[in-house]
A and B are shown apart, each in its own frame.
Chain A
Amino acid sequence: MNSPSLPARQPVDNSGGKALFLATVNAMPLDIPAFNNAFGRAYDRVHRSAQPADLAAEQDKLRALVPADASEEDRTWTGHLINDLAEPPPPPREWSELYHEAVRIHVAVYPPKGTTEEQLAMLADGRRRIWELADRASPDEEWDIRAMTEDLESMENWIRNPAFPLTETPFPSSDA
């Protein structure tokens, strides 16, 4: 178990503005990205590892990452998160038949087949049918069902307007 370490950051900013303001307010600001990753690693050790973990020790290690003179706001949210560490992940959800039907539609239209126009039509049809199911779903499932269409919409947008040309093979330019 290696304890997370704080990378040296907090570059000096003499340009004024927000950074200087924050530096003045917090003599020793919280390193937010480091805390975020440390929390995630602690969460994995406590809740997702086969090895037993020492919850209190993990919480202490996280508290040690919050400087004593950190802002009130930073002490509040990190405190909540450190307390959250004790909460186990929610149990797997039981999905309704509507949800499973939406999954089946997603499977049927992804990947889309045929010409570009046919692919676009297939994706759009899949989105429409999944949203219709979401309209009928309970509030508990509605938003998770709708979220299934993000992939479909993203692919549709790309087919319409690719941000760069796709190649068939990973390294065509190295073809000698």
Chain B
Amino acid sequence: MPESAERVRENSPTYREFARLYELARQLRPTGVDRWNRELYETSGSGGYDQETGAIGIHQPLLREGLATQSTANPRLQARALHAVLTRATQAGMDLDAPGETNAVRTAQSRGLYDGVAAVRAATDLQAFSRRAGYPSLTLDDRQQSGAYAAANGLIQQASGASIDRRELIDRLSQGPAVMHFDQVAEAVVRNRLEEIAPAEGADRQAVRRELIETMLHAQWESLAGRSPEAGQHVAEEIRRGLNAKVDEMRRRGPHPARGAESGDVPQQQVGREAPADAPRQEVGSEGPTQVKEVAAARFLNGVAPAAGAAGRGSALGDGSRGAVARAPAIGRGTSMPRGGSAARG
């Protein structure tokens, strides 16, 4: 179902308003990357950020009716329009791949987490963004969010803590690259819960993070698609327990051998508030879990590709399979936004 897309002229008020908002979105949470190619399309479908060309597409009514400070459009449409700007700006604001990074994760879950991080960032900043841009105060009920949002939000919630809180983690994730998102989440877990036993940054600390990442990708996501909300909730809980068990296990092992020489037996005290690993974590800033959300998360993390379910299953640290490449390199050209500008509307 190809969608049509029409290029928006750069001297039009719509384009100028989008470009203004795009810059404001970047000011709220600056990153060092900007991959938007300055082409804007109004699309018949959802639109998106085109990874190949760098173009941005937004559903035509959102773009035309939603993006105006004096708009009389209904607030739901306007909220979705600003949310779309934030999402696109977040995706264009980071690289995807990180060649040569040992801890890069290129499984289907990474692809999904990239979408999810953009959705979480957009929902998190929507109210401030709308005020910054001179719009009415707009928010989205988190229960309206996507599966990608639910899954990413769940991971962010579990990894946040006293040292790296939710917003600090969102800052870090917004920087990308996308294939490093799991590593960034794992680093937050280390900083918040394992800092006094973890080695300093380097190969050993990377290995600690890989061990945590395996746990996050683990669990039985694959068995869940299409099952009941209760099953979804159960698996979300499994993930949480799996991660907590891993943190506990690492703590029982004691200080990492690599830090013995540097710190002796005196643990650093930089983690201000040390919660027991399996204690219920206070979900500040989280948007309380609901069954629907969690089953969405399960479907999302499971869902991206047939190979996704196998990720990390039963594998020990660092001994993944032999480089199974689930997908051919990009050869097709079937992106959603045509690079020409002529489409359905003249």
User: What would be 18 A-B contacts, judged by CB atoms less than 8 Å apart?
Assistant: A33-B29, A41-B165, A41-B285, A43-B285, A80-B131, A81-B132, A110-B225, A143-B76, A143-B77, A150-B46, A150-B87, A151-B146, A157-B48, A157-B334, A157-B336, A165-B325, A166-B106, A176-B319
Is B36 in the interface zone, CB < 8 Å from A? no
Are A164 and B74 CB-contacts (below 8 A) given A36-B29, A90-B139? Answer: no
Contact A32 B27 (CB under 8 A): yes
Across-interface contacts of A33 in B (CB, < 8 A): 27-30, 171
* B324: nearest chain-A partner, CB-CB: A168
Report yes or no: A92 in contact with B143, Cβ–Cβ below 8 A.
yes
For residue A17, which residues in chain B have a CB less than 8 angstroms away from its CB?
none
In the assembled complex, the Cα of A167 lies from the Cα of B6 at a distance in Å of 35
Tell me if B223 counts as interface (CB < 8 A to partner A).
no
- Contact at A77–B77, with CB atoms within 8 Å? no
Q: Which of A80, A157, A162 has a CB less than 8 Å from the CB of B327?
A: A162
**Do A48 and B76 touch across chains, with their CB atoms under 8 A apart?**
no
What separation, in Å, do the CA atoms of A107 and B59 have in the docked complex?
23
Q: Is A11 on the interface with B (CB-CB < 8 A)?
A: no
A:136-161 near B, CB below 8 Å: 139-144, 146-151, 153-161
Q: Which 4 A-B pairs have the closest CB atoms?
A: A111-B303, A169-B320, A160-B334, A124-B1
Quick one: which of B124, B139, B335 contacts A157, CB cutoff 8 A?
B335
Q: B96 an interface residue at 8 Å Cβ cutoff?
A: yes
Complex-state Cα separation, A176 to B29, whole angstroms: 40
Q: Check A161–B334 contact: CB distance below 8 A.
A: yes
Closest beta carbon of chain A to B32's beta carbon, Å: 13
Contacting residue for B305 out of A139, A166, A174, CB 8 A: A166
- The residue from A41, A124, A144, A149 contacting B76, defined by CB atoms under 8 A apart: A144
Interface set of B (CB-CB < 8 Å, partner A): 1, 3, 27-30, 45-46, 48, 50-52, 59, 62, 74, 76-77, 79-80, 83, 87, 96-97, 102-103, 105-108, 110-111, 115, 119, 124-125, 127-128, 131-134, 137, 139, 141, 143-144, 146-148, 165-168, 171, 179, 182, 210, 213-214, 217, 225-226, 282-287, 292, 295, 299-300, 302-308, 310-312, 315, 318-330, 332-336
Distance between B112 CB and nearest chain A CB, rounded to angstroms:
8
Residues of the B chain whose Cβ atoms lie less than 8 Å from the Cβ of A147: 46, 80, 83, 144, 146
Which residues in B have their C-beta under 8 angstroms from that of A112? 303
Asked if A175 contacts B320 (CB within 8 A), the reply is yes
Q: CB-nearest residue of chain A relative to B328?
A: A165
Check A170/B80 contact, CB under 8 A, given A107-B226, A110-B147.
no
In this complex, the member of A36, A49, A78, A160 whose beta carbon has the largest number of chain B beta carbons within 10 angstroms is A36
Task: Decide: A161 near B307, CB < 8 A? Known: A41-B167, A48-B285, A171-B105.
Answer: no
Q: Quick check: A168 and B141 within 8 Å, CB to CB?
A: no
A37–B48 touching, CB < 8 Å: no
- The smallest beta-carbon distance between A148 and chain B, in angstroms, is 7
How long is the Cα–Cα vector from A112 to B214 in the complex, in angstroms? Answer: 24
With an 8 A cutoff between CB atoms, is A103 at the interface?
Answer: yes
Considering only CB atoms, which chain A residue lies closest to B103 in the complex?
A171
A57-75 interface bits toward B, Cβ cutoff 8 Å, 1 = contact, 0 = none: 0000000000000000000
Contact residue range for chain A?
A: 35 or more
* Partner pick for A153 among B48, B166, B171, B324, CB 8 A cutoff: B48
Give the distance to chain A from B171, nearest Cβ to Cβ, in Å: 7
* Residues of B contacting A35 in the complex (Cβ-Cβ under 8 angstroms): 128
Q: Which residues of A contact B111 (CB under 8 A)?
A: 158, 166
* Residues of B contacting A174 in the complex (Cβ-Cβ under 8 angstroms): 102, 210, 318-320
Contact with B along A38-55 (1 / 0, CB 8 A): 011101110011100000
B306 contact set on A, CB distance < 8 A: 113
Q: With A146-B46, A165-B327 as known contacts, state yes or no: A92 contacts B141, CB within 8 Å.
A: yes
Q: Which residue on chain B has the smallest CB distance to residue A125?
A: B1
